[in-house]
Structure 1
Amino acid sequence: MKNKFHINYSLITFIFSIVVFGCSLSEQHLNKDYKTLIEQSERELGLMDTTHMLDSAKSHVIRASNLQQMNRFAEAILEFQEALKYDSSAVIFSAIGKSYLQLGKYEQARANALKALKIDSLNIPAMEVMFQFYSYIPKIDEAITIYSQIVNIEPTYFRKLTLARLYELQDKEKAIALYQEMLEDGENEDIMLRLSELYKSKGDYEKYLNMTLKINENKAYRLPILNNLVEAYYLNKKYDDAYNVVGKADVNLIEDDLTSFYLKYGDLLYLDTSAESKLYIPKFLNKIDQRFFSRWSVYYLGGFLAYKIKDTSLTDKFFSKALDFTDTNQDVPIDIGVVFYNNKNYSKALHIFSKFETIFPDNYLYPFYIGTVYAAMDSNSKAIEPLNRALDLEEKNVVVLGQLGLVYNNLRDFVKSDSMYELALDVNPGDPLINNNYAYSLSERGIKLDEALRMTEIALSADSNNSSYLDTYGWIAYKSGDYEKALEYINKAIITGKASAEVYEHLGDIQLKLGNKGYAIDAYQKSLELDAGNANVIKKLEGIK
């Protein structure tokens, strides 16, 4: 078994401990929780009192200690057990416990540690074995109880630091209190960093900022400090102070660290939703443009920041630079192409996907997105060939099969459309989007409505507040002649706030069936607000008027 710990205490100290062992501290040092825990463990193992034999043990202890140093723990245990024939000291039992820990035999480790504590209730090596035992199980509360007792006996910096890190797992307030106590002995940057992280995790951003500023008092403009400082300013909405940190980074950081810092600050800008924060994006983009030459990751982030402020010229500029300098990261061109696709700049999206498909010919996402863009352009016949290329690379990919099903449906090739949907459902019968799209296709044709309803119920069970799924359910009800049920579900789709023009068109159709011409007109007009060029809806409105 791979060793997780190494016993490195010196042989001389070890032998000396045996010769002079004894209770150097009184029982009053034991806290109540610790004593209760040890007593409970003793009852579980039914320990007996041991006796002490000292003089003849030393040679076995020396050999055992040497074996431990060579990581031969099983042999060390045998030597320690020989030593026990002459000396039943706490030190030997605790050493056996440590060896058992190294072998992964945790119950035996605990049993020997408890024997040591029966002899010497303040034996720190035995307590350490108990602490590691509870850490392995894991029982963090018990581990903390043991380690807090160790700190009571030996309140060193390292011991307190370990206990504070344990407190972080269970009780952040105790961790903070202990770190603050440690700072009373003098400022320590590591402790201050831990405190600042705890303040941040608790949402106490003002204390996070104050502690970060205190750490930075020595003007040590290193990357971790500047990252924390700019984040602290942002969390406190001090945007101007945050931007000034960028200037300090420009002067003090080397190129690689500066890149990391710019990415940190850029992420903060991108994620912040306030109008004030957006004002700093153009200035930051200008810095990027002047400061970097070939760092695709910074240009990539710059493109998203430009997209956030709807500056299409800068978006194109920074994304183009990112693409010029990335030829190994397959995800970057896809992400950038999707931005242009979502912005309906289909020609640009096609150019990116087509160019990088030749560079990454084994990545199915490139031909998949080429086909998806063609479908969005209503060039469904052109979409089939690239989608089939994607399917050749990922033959059981549900998303690709679903997109092919949609394309064939748009071409009214329902045999192939149904075949694609069926293949997708063979791979994943519970896929909500496939079930919904297949169900809607069937409802539009007015066939297999019971089966369509079942598939829509599967989709809604996965996402009951999806406007498209609710619309499909309502449309199936409409096709089945249940207009009241249809109205109920179409209204549910609208209440989500994400209803499309098609949903409002369906609402108009239902209201007409229910004899509510005024409501139908309102619905059709709302549909045209979302899709002004829908000739079908215009024709329906003219028919009513």
Structure 2
Amino acid sequence: MKKESNNTQSISSFFGEGTFMKGTLKFNGALRFDGKFEGEIITNDTFIIGKSGIINANISAGSLFNSGEVTGNVSANHKIDINAEGKLLGNIKTPMLHIQEGAQFNGSCEMQRDRKAKEDILSQESSEKNNYLHSINKRRIKIGAGVLAGLLIIFALSNISISLNIIDKFNNLIEGEDPVEIMQKGVSLKESGMTDEAITAFNKLAHLDLKDPHIHLTTARAFMEMGLEDEAVSEYKKTINLNPDNLEPYNELIQLYKKKEMDDELITILKRTIEKDNKNLEMHLDLVALYEKKNMVDDAYHEYKNIVQLSPEHEGSLYNLGEISLSKGLEDEAVEMFKRVIIINDKNIEGHLNLANIYYKKGLEGESLNEYKKVEEINSVHLEAANNRGFKALSIEKLDTAAAEFNKVIEVDEKNVRAHLGFAMIYGRKGANDKAVQECKKAIEISPHHAPALNRLARLYVKQNINIDEGIKLSKEAIQINSNSPEYLDTLSDLYYIKREFDNAIETINKAIWLKPEDIYYRKQLKKFTTAKNTKK
């Protein structure tokens, strides 16, 4: 039903959904409108537009909170707040503007100093009309959600300007005050610098069982501005529980938890936020950083997987996932991650270094050397550059030069496996087999299951004809790590030969020949083993 009005009101009221009004609406106090209105709205106080509210009017107010649709120009003495569901098409003037994420605003904005309140716009109508409506006010009205302190009843009185003064209806409803009015007063007190009084008002709101998330969010923000962080946390939680789909309080609570270093609570709210907005990369990165800070390795591992799925070229996350995979013994997965890192950034020296070390540990000497050389190209003074020079000198029998390079590495990094194996090779060639054995054992202690170190030690046992059973165990482990190394197979075949297990020796060396048929050495080994077997017969 269409209502014509030119109302002068002193109210704390609510126009429900389905209401339609046209004309000029003037009032004092706080009014919430969830219906449709056309015309002009004037107040010095608070005008709240609900989600279903559709307003086609110019508005002059003290404060405007909009969750509906407004078409028209708006002037507010104190502030304008457009909620996530809100839409405003028109120009605005206000000293304070807050637009939530998801809100729509199309128009110009003029920020101005807070103006003095306009003179009281209420006019007194005839006592007959006031008395007529006053009889309605005596009925108590229960307000759902604890927010609305009144219900404005509209009468279609032809050619009559209606003055509604129904504040008496709501006396003692919530300790005599409307929560919306308390909120508006609290905001005004805070903005006026009356902090203690504002705290009292917002504390009163906080202790009411309210169901309006906007009031709790406003209260939380007010507490934050006044330095009451614990109280703000409580109000943010209420806001989220009442409206879990609005991400804004999540984000504000996240920042508060960060400030207070409340890591456990921060993890919980980040996980809830990600459930609502799974594509928010920043939230994922914040969460994984907390997991790493608290040494929650498995959680960090799974979160990094989420991140690289969301952002496949996020270099830092790929690298970190590679490192965690490596720490969990997932070397193949680590290799994949580090390869992706250097595809994105070929100058990522740590990516190349990790690949080189993994390849080296597996006995993939060609692949590892290529990566070590790349490390040297990026940083010519890197320790692995000295190792590269050491092995190059070793290859041309410049043993003292090689030793000097490996020593440079050990002085800085005494746990560098590559340098220890370099020394083992030098000692072996000099006939200092005991020292060579010690270097191999150091390497294995630093990096267990290191194929080149295992094979080097087993080869030294062959050379000295000692610890043959232990040598077989070491050699088998090296082959298990890298079954495609003819060098490792040759070591094992020699160990079998020493034990006079000629069939095992022949079978093993044939595998080496199959892998590298052009190498004459392995064929000579086969002939030696076969001859020994025949001689034994």
Query: Shorter-normalised TM-score: what interval?
Result: 0.3 to 0.5
Structure ranking higher in strand proportion: 2
Instruction: Give TM-score scaled by structure 1 length.
Output: 0.35
Bigger radius of gyration among the two: 2
Instruction: Give TM-score scaled by structure 2 length.
Output: 0.35
Structure ranking higher in helix proportion: 1
